[in-house]
């Protein structure tokens, strides 16, 4: 009887391994396809992103890093913004931090994640990766 218990347990363990247990979530993207609101850690990964600049040169590229996702009827939507910028220069770079909850972009086109710069010992607001930190 003891031998059968091990065989059954082994069969169940193999079936669970082959079928998977639960569903695995997809990794967050390292590119942003265009305008919209994205959840950091769920939709996109934190990191340094670069856009080619305004999709429509008549209007600036505008982005916001968010501490919370504001409801559609937020009385004070600016209170959810950690950092933001509007620019007509190209390229546009932003550091999306792991502590950010959301990222919103408008008229910036697509974004791609850039490699992290090597540690330099000092890095300030006037660095090459945006002025928002």
Query: What number is the average pLDDT over the span 8-13?
Result: 42
Q: What is the pLDDT of residues 87-130, one digit of tens each?
A: 999 999 999 999 999 999 999 999 999 998 887 766 554 455 55
**Rounded distance between C-alpha atoms, residue 46 and residue 8, angstroms:** 45
Compute the distance between CA of residue 110 and CA of residue 61 in angstroms, rounded to an integer. Answer: 11
pLDDT at 3: 52
Residue 16 confidence (pLDDT) above 60: no
Query: Quick one: pLDDT at residue 24?
Result: 53
Dist CA 96 CA 20 (whole Å): 33
CA distance 49 to 129: 9
The tens digit of pLDDT for each residue in 19-76 reads 444 445 678 899 999 999 999 999 999 999 999 999 999 999 999 999 999 888 888 8
Q: How confident is the model at residue 2 (pLDDT cuts 50, 70, 90)?
A: low
Q: Tell me the pTM.
A: 0.69
107 backbone φψ class: left, alpha, beta (φ>0; ψ -120 to 50): left
Full DSSP string of the chain: -HHHHHHHHHHHHHHHHHH-SS-PPPPPBSEE-SSEEEEBTTTB-SEEEEE-S-SSTTS-EEEEEESS---TT-S-GGGGEEEEEEE--SSEEEEE-TT--EEEEES---EEEEPPPPP-S---TTSTT-S--
Q: In this structure, is the dihedral angle defined by the CA atoms of residues 36, 42, 43 and 46, taken in order, positive or negative?
A: positive
- Whether the per-residue pLDDT at 132 is higher than 70: the answer is no
* Stretch 2-12: mean pLDDT: 45
């Amino acid at each position: 009887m003891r031998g059968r218990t091990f065989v059954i347990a082994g069969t169940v363990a193999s079936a669970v391994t082959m079928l998977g247990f639960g569903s695995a979530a997809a990794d967050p993207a390292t590119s942003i396809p265009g305008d919209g609101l994205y959840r950091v850690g769920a939709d996109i990964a934190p990191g340094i992103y670069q856009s080619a600049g305004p999709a429509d040169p008549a209007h600036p590229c505008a982005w916001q890093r968010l501490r919370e996702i504001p409801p559609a009827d937020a009385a004070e939507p600016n209170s959810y913004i950690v950092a933001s910028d509007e620019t007509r220069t190209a390229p546009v770079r932003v550091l999306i931090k792991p502590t950010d909850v959301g990222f919103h972009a408008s008229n910036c086109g697509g974004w791609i994640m850039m490699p992290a710069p090597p540690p330099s010992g000092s890095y300030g607001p006037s660095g090459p990766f945006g002025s928002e930190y």
